[in-house]
Amino acid sequence: MKVIFGPLLEHHWPIIMRELPLALQQDTRGVIALNAETDELLAAVVCEDWTITSVQCHILICNRAALRAGFINEVANYVFTTGGRLSMYGMVPADNDKALRLNKHIGFTEVVRLKDAYDIGIDYVLMELRRENCPYWIQPALAQIA
């Protein structure tokens, strides 16, 4: 399967909204991975609440082929190089083991657990990925050498 990457566009929202309970905001932007042959959405990162140094990200993986094709590298490049941010954050319900494992694999670290912030008995886990700790980000100067 050939995977292509591109910008998150408004017509992708219905698919994303089925999986992630998000509202389209004025500063919402992101990256998607598509199956080049079928146009099927394989993965998306939704970035919102941009500040001068950081952004909150929501990662949706529909098909692991996107990961094998370098989707996380695309996300890191988008946030850290194109977006010029120093860090990205994610809020993950503590009972979402798959998301917590994926975020830790990518390099996110737990900053704090907010007790019962998602639901009664379910904490929210604030996770951070700093640019200098991201194993998937290639510094622009190094990318030119490679």
Task: Answer whether residue 144 is part of any domain.
Answer: no
- pLDDT tens figures, 106-132: 999 999 999 999 999 999 999 999 999
pLDDT of residue 142: 55
Task: Answer whether residue 87 is part of any domain.
Answer: yes
Task: Answer whether residue 23 is part of any domain.
Answer: yes
Task: Answer whether residue 145 is part of any domain.
Answer: no
Task: Answer whether residue 59 is part of any domain.
Answer: yes
Q: How many domains does the chain have?
A: 1
Q: Which domain holds residue 49?
A: 3-136
- pLDDT tens figures, 36-55: 999 999 999 999 999 999 99
> Cα separations (Å) of 129 from 3, 25, 54, 94?
25, 22, 10, 17
Task: Answer whether residue 62 is part of any domain.
Answer: yes
- pLDDT tens figures, 60-109: 999 999 999 999 999 999 999 999 999 999 999 999 999 999 999 999 99
Nearest to 87 by CA among 109, 48, 55, 126: 55
Task: Answer whether residue 49 is part of any domain.
Answer: yes
CATH of residue 63's domain is 3.40.630.30
